[in-house]
Each structure stands twice: as C-alpha cells, then as structure tokens.
Chains A and B, each alone.
Chain A
Amino acid sequence: METVAEWFLWLKEAHGIKLTIFYDELDRTRFLKGVWTTIHLSFVCVLASIVIGIAGAWLQMSPLVWVRRIMSGYIAFFRNTPPLVQLYFFYFAVDSALSGLFGIRGGIMSSYGWAVMALSFFAGAFNTEIFRAGIEAVPKSTTEAAQALGYSRFQIFRYITFPLAYRVCLPALNNNLINLVKTTTVAYAIAVPETLYISNQIWSDEYNVPEMMNVVWVVYIVLVGVLVWLMHRWEKAIRVPGFGQ
C-alpha cells in the first residue's frame, strides 16, 4: 500500500494530478465510506422495492375495484413524475408535514431513510408492473393443467406460476434494479453521504475536480458493470431452453 501511495504522490509532484484518495488518510477513509454507503443504499432499496413490487402485484390482482384503482394511481404517479422531485417531496414536504402533525422536531427520519423510502417506492412502482406481467405470462392452460392434477392454490403458485413467472420477469427486473443503483445518486440532493456527495466534499477541499470526477465515474462504471455481469450470469444459469427468449 505504501508504494501505491508513493506513486500517486509522485504523480502529483511530477504531473500535477492530485489523486488524494490514494495517499491521504482522511480522504481515502471518507471516500471508501461513501462508496460503502452507495453499496448498502442500493442493496436496501433493491430489497425494499422487490417487496413493494410483490405486494403491489398481489394488490393489483385484487377483486376490489378501488384497491386496483389506488394501485394504478400509485404506479402512474411514481412513473410519471421525476424521481428527484419525489425525493424532495418526501424529504422536505412530507417530513415537514408529518413532523408538524405529530409534533416531532427535527424531522421524522434521516435523509438516508427518506432516500430509501422515495427510491424504493419509485422502483417498486416499476417492479409491480414487471411482476404482474410475469404472472400474466404464465399461460392459463398451464395452471389449469396443474389444477387438474390436484395441486392446491399455493402449490400452483410455488411450483408452477412462480418459477415460470420469475424467468419471464428477470430481464426486465434486472434492468430496473440496475437503473435503481444508478438512480441512488439523486440522494446527493438531500445530502446523503454517498459516493458522489463525498467526492464533492473532497474536491471542494482539495481542488482536484477533474481527478475526482474521473474516479467517481470509474467507480460507478465498475459497480454497475459488476452488477450487470452478475445479472447476466444469473439469467444464463436459470434459463430453460425453449421458454421465453
């Protein structure tokens, strides 16, 4: 590690390229913390949005008309309004209103919490559509055949519908989750200490904007690239020949 630090110091002396995160203790620490925040923010949002998506898909198939209408409304709202505005709406407007309502000072949740809330509901709206499409893609005749064989409703869902539906969903779902990871950068706007935000602090302190911008870009390319690769491997591994694509 020492030689790495030395080489980057040399780079600064010789070419004026200031990659402080490699040789400065403080910068390196806070940068790595920022990357870690991005990673676990993405992780939490992905999980939460999947749960919301499943719940939403189930609700959308409810026999009650008004439940379905409210779900349609939720999906239409989150898909047709900007995620950044949704985030501000939650963090500033909703937080303030709820705090006022319950008399809590200083906000109900941290910026991280509201970011998770806003991003999960945003991605959850898309996931609901994706899961619904997946379930509908299982031909009715297949489930009827299962019924004729005596499967119970739950067994049909577990052994027939779910395995087939999830293979249909997976490409679209993966796409959405990758987009979610990219969208976590909007949390910058409400001062969540993720990669972009921390990098901004670093370049304000060290005056090394081009260097840090390149580092940030590379870090995100690598993070997203690894995720894309993993998703592809997963899709390939579960592929059933002749079904779907």
Chain B
Amino acid sequence: MTDTWTPDQPIVSIKDVHKSFGDLEVLKGVSFDVMKGEVICIIGPSGSGKSTLIRCINALNDIQSGSITVEGLEVNTPNLDKLALRKKVGMVFQQYNLFPHKTAIENVMMAPLLVLKQSPEEVEARARSLIRKVRLEGKENAYPGELSGGQQQRVAIARSLAMNPDVMLFDEVTAALDPETVKEVLVTIKDLAAEGMTCMLVTHEMGFAKEIGDHIYFTDRGVIVEHGPPATFFKKASDPRTREFLSQIL
C-alpha cells in the first residue's frame, strides 16, 4: 500500500486511457473508477477492447496515453515496480494457463515461495486452505491434465489468491468452459465477492453480472458506451447500441 492511498479513494482509477496495436486503436479514451470492495462487470461485443483494458490494468499491455492507478500506484510509468503491482493485482485468464508440469498445489505454492519468498510451511498451509476454499479438496496432487476445465479454472483462482491481492481481475474466465462447469467457477467468484474482494470481471454471463455486480460497464469499439448499477442498466439502458447488444444476449 502506498502512503497516499486511503480506502475512501478509488482502488483502481482509469483516466482517459488510449491503447493502440500498431495502427489499430483499441481503447479510445476509457475512464472510470472502482471503489474498494466493489464488483464491476465489463460486457460488450468481441473486439470492443474489454480484455485489452483488463490486461492494461495489470501491465501485461502498455498504454499509449492516459493513467491507470492501482491503490495510488501509477501503472503507466516507465519505471513501474512490476512486483509491487502484481502483489496488489491478481489475474485469472480464459485459458486457465496453469503450469502443466506442476500439480495443483504446486501451482498454487510456486509464486509465494519463489516471488514472495515466504517460508514453505506457511505457503503450504495457505495453499491447502485456498484449495479447500475453491472446493477442490482431495485434488491437491492432481496435474492440470487430470482436471476438468472448471477445476483447472478454480486452481487458477486459488493460485492468484495465494499472492494476497487487493484486486482480482477475471478475463472471460468461463468462456472456455462447458455450461455445467461454469456454475462451479461462478460460485467461487461469488464467494470471493461476498468476502469483500474487489473484483473486475470481463464476462458474457449476464445472469451472473446481474446477480453479483455492483456496477456494469458496456464497452463498444474502444469506449464505454453506458454504465450503471444492474437494476437500471439491464432494464432501462438508454443507448441504442447497448439495447441492441442486450437484446441479442438476453
């Protein structure tokens, strides 16, 4: 935590972010704030820039202009302390990206051991409790290849939680799963949100967004077209683009 940040300020603050891949501008001036403990959902058609935005928050992609601050730490600087950023921010990916040559519990333990340099006993105890938390007790010694998609995704969530982040980013984490397994992952995220974790989800699961989201943002072609709390957003969307998108999905 930086000294200048206090919980009454936004935990993630995005100001006028522009991002291009070569000549193609993907984010054209995105701004919004996220308060601690909020669950925000970003929805929109493919290519609208939502995954890119999430990746920029975690400095996996750089931005051409604008500012992103996480707990007061500015991401868009040349000398970014990446370790400090990634201790604050945890990310879960659509393709789980577990390390296939390590067991589930080793996946969860690796980063705290090697990056945070915590003691093995501490790390193992916490890893076991995290695996229990994502309801995968008994699967600690399974390799990712032996787990189903939903199970792998839950291990991925546990792995990110092991770093004790303050913000969790979810990049379309259920998009690659069968409908039956989607539920188990959503339940895990719901529990996290209920405990007060600040979550930013890029998702297609409208029902889920309605259920746990505090604020919904709709992006299209690199800008935030409309946003609002789920109650008003889904029923009284004003912009025609939003309405068209929602009518196709719902």
Q: Do chains A and B touch in the complex (CB under 8 A)?
A: no
